[in-house]
Structure 1
Amino acid sequence: MPPQLGLVCITTSKDVRYRALTRKRLLEHAEDGQRKLLEDIYRDNLQTFDEAMRYCEREGIALYRIPSSIFPFSDEPFGRAILEEFAPMLARSGRRATERGIRLVMHPDQFVVLSSDSEGVVANSVKILQMHADIMDLLDQPRSPWALLEIHGGKSDRADALVERIALLPDAIRCRIGLENDEYAYSAEEIHAICLRAGVPMVFDAHHHVVHEKLDSYEHPSVEAMLRKARETWAEPGHQLVHISNGRSGFNDRQHADLIDTMPSSYRLAPWIEIEAKLKEEAIRALDGWEVRAN
């Protein structure tokens, strides 16, 4: 079976676009106004999520990364209470996604640093992760890496702290969490070792790997080797998820290009691939049949 390609959050077209909200705008309203504003945004964004699921079904896209900001301020008690009121609607939406065969994942933002040496940062990281886990629970998604919460290792040279803090996470988070290698703090080999110790899956990103190792090709033997090693961290190998992007101004540019012009041939072996390209669905369409061309 060819790899399933995943859409990240929104489309380049206006088909899938969510409403956003800044704290400044929220605080311009009295409490009743804040409640009404959040209710309206949550309702609209849930409707957009449903539209995203229909879009993915039409386009044959079987994996969707839900935006971390889909329900703004739901990591705070006020927003969380409002989100609970939408629980029946969320459960129906999540079940419809499952019935359509669409896998749902999330990628919490850069403020999640479990390896930080600041207890305040760690506490805030757990709060943000709990919000993501709550959304997955409300969407009736399994407490397993199928409904993955992908994060980076964070502060470098803190592997022991990262392993210890993962072990202390609430089940709703720990059962879903996976770690991704990055360009600077944690190499693919380092994240692989941490994943083995922590008992969580590794999300291999080939572009982060080539930038970190200063490689000049996705065909370097270490790319396929790390893909295979990462698969060993998944309890269900068929659930393995990887990322791909290309450099914008050059092969080793960490900034993402509009499309995916170069794909590792070893990615034919990956069951699930998130396409991290600026042109979103256009990049996915341009990859139609790539696994055949790579043979």
Structure 2
Amino acid sequence: MTEIGFGIFCTNGDGKLSTNHTFRLKNLTFDRVFEAFLKNLSDFFKLLDLCKREKIEVFRLGSNFIPYASHRDFKEEWFGKLESYLKEASERLKEYPIRITMHPGQFVILNSPKSEVIENSLRELEYHFWVLDSLGVGDEGIVIIHVGGVYGDRERSIDRFMVNIEKNKWLKIRLTVENDEKLFNAREVLNIAKNLGIPFVFDFFHHRLNPSEIELKEVFNTWIGKGVPKMHLSSAGEGRIGSHGDYINTEDFLELYKMIKDSDVTRVHIMIEAKKKEKALEKLRKSLLPVKL
């Protein structure tokens, strides 16, 4: 039987706790950074306490944990001023049996034809890696990105993505890649991950919107020697196609679970990408009580 550990991301369900407190760029000063960072740090541990109580095994830290840390106007010496707080946090973090991951936004594009975009993307990823390193998070603390755009030539765009990662091999320490809902399907992204030797994060909702032929056993093979495989699960919300719902439809979970079970994997982590976070997970767990998995 496959063991499943669940995760939530960035905030709690009502948004009162968040690791993404920030401010407007025009107000960038160390004092404003420090104020937002301390609030994020405080809420981070409150969220970890929530995860511990609710038996949630994975938490995705917000990318704004240190606001504007990858921006050119963020001064190098500010990192030094924050380091002791992160070192102290790394000691506290040892008390929590919770996997910490990160997922920078869509502006991280490693296959852009523009060198400036690549440079900015690498700087953003350096920041994410630095945060996880400073918090003492091991290699299980992955950083998830999408492939990027097509730019009129799918094959050349894939090649650029792979070349830019091979040029910056430090990325392979934590980097994982995820299928998206429009451009690069699971089969394409799996092939990219296999060629690069990095893990593939399978997003079930994106797979439904942008389907391809795939077996999860192949996906899980990219994780051999690299920790517990991580997946994403959400259900459709209102509004534009691709919007995430507040909760998870039980049928969506059961369909994904069947795919997982057929793969013979022993353990997986599923990030619940529903807006109500821990409330969505609580509702899903209750709905599964009568179900024999």
Letter in 2 for 1:9: C
TM superposition shift of 1:74: 1.2
Equivalent residue number for residue 232 of structure 2: 243
Q: 1:12 and 1:101 mapped to 2: Cα distance?
A: 21
Q: What SS does the aligned partner of 1:113 have?
A: coil
Q: How does 1:163-174 map to 2 (within 5 A)?
A: 163-169=162-168, 171=170, 173-174=171-172
State the Cα distance separating 1:23 from its structure 2 match: 0.7
Question: Aligned partners of 1:159 and 1:106: how far apart in 2?
Answer: 23
**In the aligned structure 2, how far is the partner of 1:170 from the partner of 1:292?**
47
Which residue identity does 1:168 align to in structure 2?
K
**Residue pairs, 1:128-277, within 5 angstroms:** 128-142=124-138, 144=139, 146-156=140-150, 157=154, 158-169=157-168, 171=170, 173-213=171-211, 222=213, 225-236=214-225, 239-249=228-238, 253-261=241-249, 262-263=252-253, 264-265=256-257, 266-267=259-260, 271-277=268-274
Q: Partner residue of 2:82?
A: 86
Q: Is the 8 A contact 1:9 1:64 kept in 2?
A: yes
Of 69-78 and 183-192, more deviation after overlay is shown by 69-78
Give the letter for the 1:45 counterpart: N
The answer for the alignment partner of 2:104 in structure 1 is: 108
User: How many matched pairs?
Assistant: 275
Residues of 1 paired with 2:36 and 2:52: CA distance?
Answer: 24
Q: TM-score, normalised by structure 1?
A: 0.85
SS in 1 for 2:271: strand
**Counterpart in 2 of 1:57?**
52
1:280 maps to 2:270:
no
Residue in structure 1 matched with residue 43 of structure 2 by the alignment: 48
RMSD: 2.3
Q: Distance in 2 between matches of 1:231 and 1:111?
A: 27
Deviations 1:223-268 (A, max 9, x none): xx43221111113375100001111249x94111110012123345
1:209 and 1:95 mapped to 2: Cα distance? 38
Aligned to 2:26: 24
**1:151 aligns to what SS in structure 2?**
strand
Check whether the contact 2:199–2:226 (CA below 8 A) recurs between aligned residues.
Answer: no
TM-score, length-scaled by structure 2: 0.86
> How many Å separate the matches in 2 of 1:237 and 1:124?
27
